[in-house]
Amino acid sequence: MVKTLYLILFLVLTLLNTAIAQEIEFTESEKKWIAEHPVIYHGYDASWHPFEFYNEKDSVYYGIIGDYIKIVEDKTGITIKPLRPISWEETIKEVKAGEIDLVTGIVSSESRQEYLSFSNSYLSYPLVIITRKEYDFIGGLEDLKGKKIAEPVSYYSLERISIDYPEIDIVSVKNTDEALQKVSFGHVDAFVGNLAVASYYINKEGYTNLKIAAPTKYDHIDVSFGVRKDWPELISVTNKIFSQIPQEKHNEIKNHWIKVRYEYGISIQQIIWGSAFALGIVLLVIAVILLWNRSLQKEIVKRNYIEKKLEESLLALEKKNEEKRAMLKEIHHRVKNNLQVVNSLLKLQSRKLIDVDAIDMFKETRNRVISMALLHEKMYRSDDIHQINVQEYISLLVEDLVKSYAVDKQIKLNIKIEPVNLMMRTLVPLGLIINEMITNSLKHGFKERTDGEIFVFIKQIGGVQYEMIIGDNGVGVKNNSKTTGIGVKLIKIFTKQLNGSLERLDKPGTVFRLVFEKIDLK
């Protein structure tokens, strides 16, 4: 009983202390100012999600900053209303002209201090670099010297970068969404902006080819209230309120509006480590392919065993199937990432070479790695890991090769794949065969020509047997010419792996017929 009374007394005292701590003592001049300003209007950036939103239909302003405005309203009794929705550039112009008294979400800078007073910071955020996923490695703003970046007009980031990094070519845009669009379409190289805002628009607009590439040295950009110079009372009032907001309340507001998951690109340490082993990786690529096939076969056996066990219960079946899919998709995702690392290392190493043959060897090896990475990407992105869009996979593979080898030629692609159900074990060697044959066509089939056609036809001819006709209408090769090299050896190895046969057809250009088996079920 005594212990219970002590506990109740402790809770009462704790609540009392909290209530006392939340009481804010305003001075007489502050109270007078509050009484004389029952309603004030603020400017904002209506396109700065999730910090600031404005719903024109319902005339409602909300977001992270909106929650802090509500705290100030609760503590003072002042009503802080948003102005009509205008752009951030227009907001800054009207602030300078004295037509706006208060900006609730602004970063202090030397130039802005000429026409505004600033409260203490009530939240902060990092600036990060956004690039396309296939863009070269970026470790910081120093790597963007001589590059083009998009920055919204009148944003603090534009002002800061133009001063600290004059070598960077800045393209002015209206807002963050337009900046990300220019990066996605390849009009500029990067965008430097608020992590939370950029992540919001990437997810909302579906910019699947963008990534958060690196942090910047601006890791704590502080947001404050910007107030007209003749309202010092509002500065002192807001400073008192912000100083009494507990960290738990800050966390609650941020967690409510911001749910961001991101990862930076390859680190400098990884590149240094990987470069030291790049040559060894080149020699081991083929061995890795074979070991990977063996590993995949074990995974398939394991999956079949688990699926048989799961038939005992419908509920257990659904639950474990979901776990299985997640595991396999994660495997494909990690294998794809590892292959991309291998490709990046090969690319870095090839830059140090002078010999043309050696450079070509690296380029061909990279294309083989890319063909495998592309297949894993399709598996990872597919909603159904048992189905792969073979037409889409082969089309992307051939298109990438044409972009790599025939940038100065007009090559028409004719790819027709009947609906076939092929999976990883068959598609890996088949994709590598296509890679070698198309590479050979692009390198040798259109010499002294500016145009031509490459075609790939695949259809099922019975049971588990399939036929592929692949070739070009180029200059062809002599019947007595000898073909040697790793490409020819790989084609023979993978043809044998598919229990297939390969023959050259007597047609214009260079045309081959490959009959192969679906080996997914073996």
Domain boundaries, given as residue ranges, for the chain: 29-119+224-257, 127-219, 266-387, 390-522
Kind and range of the H or E run holding 100 = none
Q: Is domain 29-119+224-257 given the CATH code 3.10.20.30 in the classification?
A: no
Residue 467: how many other CB atoms lie within 10 Å: 16
SS3 96: helix
CATH topology agreement for domains 29-119+224-257 and 127-219: yes
- pLDDT, position 376: 60
Whole-model pTM above 0.85?
no
Q: With beta carbons less than 8 A apart as the criterion, state whether 405 and 439 touch.
A: yes
Residue ranges in the chain whose pLDDT is less than 70:
1-22, 259-280, 282-283, 312-350, 352, 356-357, 360-361, 363-364, 367-368, 370-387, 407, 477-485, 521-522
Architecture of domain 127-219 in CATH? 3-Layer(aba) Sandwich (3.40)
Question: Which residues are 101's β-sheet partners?
Answer: none
Burial pattern 154-188, b for ≥16 Cβ within 10 A else e, equals bbbbbbbbeeeeeebebeebebbbebbbbbbeeeb
CA distance 409 to 446: 9
Q: Determine whether 493 is exposed, middle or buried from the number of CB atoms within 10 Å of its CB (0-12, 13-18, 19+).
A: middle
HSE, side-chain direction, 13 A CA sphere, residue 276: 5
Q: Is domain 390-522 given the CATH code 3.40.718.10 in the classification?
A: no
- What is the rounded end-to-end Cα distance, in angstroms, of the chain? 74
Q: What is the CA radius of gyration of the chain?
A: 31
- pLDDT, position 261: 40
Q: Determine whether 352 is exposed, middle or buried from the number of CB atoms within 10 Å of its CB (0-12, 13-18, 19+).
A: exposed
- pLDDT, position 57: 73
CA distance 1 to 375: 70
CA distance 64 to 77: 20
Q: Is the link from the previous residue into 246 a cis peptide, with omega within 30 of 0?
A: no
- pLDDT, position 20: 36
CA distance 366 to 346: 7
Phi, psi (5° rounding) for residue 466?
-135, 155
CA distance 69 to 252: 15
Phi, psi (5° rounding) for residue 427?
-70, -30
Residue 392: both structure tokens together: 């889409």
**DSSP string of 425-494, one letter each residue:** HHHHHHHHHHHHHHHHHHHHTTTT-SEEEEEEEEEEEETTEEEEEEEESSS---TT----SHHHHHHHHH
Length of the chain measured in residues: 522
